[in-house]
Chains A and B, each alone.
Chain A
Amino acid sequence: MAVLSVTPEGIYCEAGGFHIDPWRPVDRALITHGHADHARPGHRRYLCTGPAAPVIRHRLGQIDLDTMRYGEERRIDGATVSFHPAGHVPGSAQIRVAVSGEVWVVSGDYKLEPDGLCEPFEPVQADTFITECTFGLPVFTWTPQAEVAQDINRWWADTVAAGRTPILGAYSLGKAQRILTMLDAAIGPILTHGAIENTNEVLRAQGIALPATIRVTPDTDPKRHPGAVVLAPPSALGSAWANRFGATSTAFASGWMRLRGVRRRRAADRGFVISDHADWPGLNAAIRETGAERVLVTHGYTAQFRRWLETQGYDAQEVETEFEGESLETAEPDSAA
């Protein structure tokens, strides 16, 4: 019997009687992180890491939520579970499940490059590794964060010099805070859309240091904040909300910006290649480091990535889940809740 299987509700552990990131309501849900395609409402009991809990509570309201420390082991019926840093967003985890000595690890969403914001990714030994592969093609390789930070800050300064307001679109959980830490506050003040500032408040309250920001409200007069950069969810770019800033230069931060065609479709002035998902070298390194012989691939370029893993000697299979990867669309994955 397999340690984990995919049921209509989600990834299921029969020995432990729980699901991982289920997409339909279940009795007991282990949650990798707070993005809406992983932490959904309606389950009876939730379990996640301590640092992931505040955002999940903020989004799902009154829920029965228990937490564990990273690395702590807990017995759930016939299974032993533990959470390990995934480096994706603050509090995000890979979930390790051991049953009768066989170890499976569910990656959730992850990236390898330390971003200075969340707990850095830690490889976990596994017999079977269930990995996302949102960017599972060799065209997706990220430039180091420090270089992207330079590009963003230069764009900010140039845009201000040209008499325009720079507006940068980024998801309100994870990406936005990561960018906050990359911005050079010497250039000017940082204005934030309410959706982002709400998440900022939750994260600050749990002790995560973020630079000073100014929440944009209906009374905000942009003229009183000369030289400012504006951080907003992608859906706010080009919306009525953005009109108050007059002449703008818009930018969008996503791994998809690596593709020129996608950059052009977004019709933003700039695209910065920055993702909280692993790039091609990252996926390959992560899989190698688990030592797993069997790899199950999900959400992303699964067919191509599975075939590639086979040529590398893995027993690889595709599994169909309802996770969404890094959405490119205006409806961001974390806005559903």
Chain B
Amino acid sequence: MNRFAKLFAALDQTTKTNAKVTALAGYFRDAPDDDKLWTIALLSGRRPRRTVTTTSLREWAAEAARIPLWLFEECYPIVGDLAETIALILPPATRTSDRSLTHWITEIRALAARDEPARKAAILDAWDQLGSTERFLFNKLITGGFRIGVSQKLMTRALAQATGHDEAALAHRLMGDWTPDRTSFHALVEADDPAAELSRPYPFYLAYQLDTAPEDLGPVTDWLAEHKWDGIRGQLVLRGGQHFVWSRGEDLMTDRFPELAAAVDFVPPGTVIDGEILAWKDASPLSFSALQKRIGRKTVPKKLLAEAPVILKAYDLLEWQGEDLRATPLAARRTLLENLIEGLPNTAPIRLSPALDAANWRHLAQARAKSRALGAEGLMLKRKDSAYQIGRKKGDWWKWKVDPLSVDAVMIYAQQGHGRRANLFTDFTFAVWDAGNLVPFTKAYSGLTDAEFRQITQWVRKNTIDRYGPVRAVTPTYVFEIHFEGIQASPRHKSGIALRFPRIARWRHDKPIQEANTLQDLREILASYG
């Protein structure tokens, strides 16, 4: 664990990409194969199954630290991370240990078969022989969520440096449905394995938000424009008579969307399609909330299948007749995709995401303005001669989203932030007017500068009128412009509505609270876009 802790510290102590790659590559050169495999697994979001509940961890940690549980619970939101909170409050270890990362992971997994007192004894024993960084990592292995500022891309680059393998080939190898139990470092990184190849998706190509005027992109004829659909990005992989559905986060979603199984009947093996999974009825998408009901489900009840059936809105063809097409220009890939989909019957669960015809950028701007009415979030602009690249790259693919929906609201509650902003008031509740009362309707976080957060923090301290635990009610004084991407009816909320992706756009110093919007205004937005 010491080696892994040193790697973690080195990664955590720098903001420079090159230094991170160097540290990781050094680790991949020296560490034992088992540890390397687990490190790749952890950094690509694969972690051991949880064998101890977080409730037990909290209780044992508070007990070891001799503090009441409520005080532990007060610390957690301020630290912002459970594993770290535990590591920080525990008394110093009395012993040391030089056991490996793989040893501790094995130990943690073995707890599954043991009873609660044995688990507790094992955890306390581990805490008592690990240094502070190692303790934090040990806790992370149990609780999951390794986010240490290393993207999969960066890890892959380091692995390529350390092994001498091609980076793109490695990225492809690391995709898919592997776990450290069912493979080895050699099999994953070095050996040829046709079975693993079968299900493997391609690394997704991701677009940036357009940050210039579209005219700056050059002639409109160089670009393919289509709607930006508001669903789940997915790859449909058809090989060897089977089908696999992958999310952008590399979750295998095949069983969640059984409708897509029918693709095997119509599309030949050796095909990989990139597109958006949408809840779809007749000729148009259902709202995102319909799709949301499907997301959390591993198996889907019949009623839900009928209520919110899904399709794949296809926009790119990455493999055809077993051949990797990613280097082929987009225009040629599109032609193949269009031919493929044209030949499908209406019952097939795949539809084409149509290209928008436009003689000039003004036409596209008009199409963008209307896209919300079609259930889309704006447009996608893709350069016709572009290859299908890996990860987020600037230049060839752009998101050109519609302007967000907007409302002016009054801040009425404030709460201190977590982690990064532990000492500032950053979490606010906003209200709109309804018959002379301020009705809370949303919380919103990001969007202000650090200087504004400091200013509001000082103001909140002096203008608190009531306290409910960590929440402070403040004198209604300030109006903020809140942006959001969607709205839906919600009987659970007092206001009767819920917003999608609300955030603070700006502080309206110029507006008195009387000029904030009303609940009726929100209901009208709901009627138009809900």
Point out residues on A near B: beta carbons under 8 Å: 137-141, 256, 258-265, 267-270, 301, 303-304, 307-308, 311, 320, 322, 325, 328-331
Contacts and interface: CB of A to CB of B under 8 A. Distances in A.
A247 B339 CA distance: 55
A311 to B, nearest CB: 6
Contact of B78 (A139, A263, A269, A331): A139
A261 B80 contact: yes
A320 B15 contact: no
Nearest to A260: B84
Contact of A329 (B12, B75, B88, B454): B454
A187 B462 CA distance: 47
B81 interface: yes
B74 to A, nearest CB: 5
15 contacts: A138-B88, A139-B75, A139-B85, A139-B89, A259-B80, A260-B84, A261-B79, A264-B12, A264-B420, A269-B13, A269-B15, A301-B74, A308-B71, A322-B461, A325-B423
Contacts of A308: 67-68, 71
A269 B13 CA distance: 5
Interface in B448-469: 450, 454, 461-462, 467
Contacts of A268: 15
Nearest to B70: A307
Given A138-B71, A263-B12, A264-B149, 15 more contacts: A138-B67, A256-B423, A259-B79, A260-B12, A260-B84, A261-B422, A262-B419, A264-B420, A267-B15, A301-B78, A303-B467, A307-B70, A307-B71, A308-B67, A329-B454
Contacts of A303: 467, 470
Nearest to A326: B423
Given A137-B74, A320-B461, A261 B418 contact: yes
A304 B74 contact: yes
Contacts of A137: 71, 74-75, 78
B149 to A, nearest CB: 8
A265 B74 CA distance: 21
B207 interface: no
Interface string B3-33: 0000000001111100000000000000000
A329 B450 contact: yes
Contacts of B461: 320, 322
Nearest to A140: B88
A139 B88 contact: yes
B423 A270 contact: no
A259 B417 CA distance: 13
Given A137-B74, A262-B422, A265-B421, A270 B13 contact: yes
Chain B's interface: helix, strand, loop or mixed, by majority?
helix
A265 B88 CA distance: 19
A258 B88 contact: yes
Contacts of B13: 269-270
Nearest to B453: A329
B65 interface: yes
Given A139-B85, A303-B467, A259 B422 contact: yes
A329 B451 CA distance: 9
Interface of B: 12-16, 65, 67-68, 70-71, 74-75, 78-81, 84-85, 88-89, 149, 418-423, 450, 454, 461-462, 467, 470
A328 B75 CA distance: 18
A263 B149 CA distance: 13
Contact of A262 (B85, B88, B420): B420
A140 B65 CA distance: 13
B71 A304 contact: yes
Contacts of A261: 79-81, 418-420, 422
B91 to A, nearest CB: 9
A262 B79 CA distance: 9
A328 B85 CA distance: 20
Contacts of A307: 70-71
Nearest to A329: B454
Contacts of A263: 12
A172 B461 CA distance: 26
A274 to B, nearest CB: 16
A269 B419 contact: no
A141 B85 CA distance: 12
Contacts of B89: 138-139
B225 to A, nearest CB: 37
B74 A259 contact: no
A260 B81 contact: yes
Contacts of A320: 461
Given A261-B80, A269-B15, A328 B423 contact: yes
A260 B71 CA distance: 20
Nearest to B86: A139
A147 B473 CA distance: 43
Contacts of B78: 137, 139, 259, 301
A256 B423 CA distance: 9
A120 to B, nearest CB: 24
Contacts of A328: 423
A263 B423 CA distance: 13
Contacts of B418: 261
9 closest cross-chain pairs (CB), A and B:
A261-B419, A265-B420, A139-B88, A261-B420, A304-B74, A261-B80, A139-B75, A138-B89, A137-B75
Q: Which of A138, A262, A264, A303 has the most CB of B within 10 A?
A: A138
A141 B470 CA distance: 23
A269 B14 contact: yes
Nearest to A251: B13
B311 to A, nearest CB: 41
A305 B470 CA distance: 13
Nearest to B13: A270
A140 B71 CA distance: 13
A262 B416 CA distance: 14
A265 B80 CA distance: 13
A304 B88 CA distance: 17
Nearest to A256: B423
A260 B467 CA distance: 28
Contacts of B467: 303
B75 A311 contact: no
Contacts of A139: 75, 78-79, 85, 88-89
A303 B78 CA distance: 13
Contacts of A141: 88
B372 to A, nearest CB: 35
Nearest to A330: B450
B461 to A, nearest CB: 7
A304 B462 CA distance: 19
Contacts of B88: 138-141, 258-259
A140 B67 CA distance: 13
Contacts of B15: 267-269
Contacts of B70: 307
Nearest to A261: B419
Q: Which of A259, A268, A325, A330 has the most CB of B within 10 A?
A: A259
A331 to B, nearest CB: 8
B65 A138 contact: yes
A97 B67 CA distance: 33
A259 B84 CA distance: 8
Nearest to A318: B467
A318 B522 CA distance: 40
A331 B449 CA distance: 14
Contacts of A140: 88
A308 B419 CA distance: 22
Contacts of A259: 78-80, 84, 88, 419, 422
A255 B241 CA distance: 60
Contacts of B85: 139
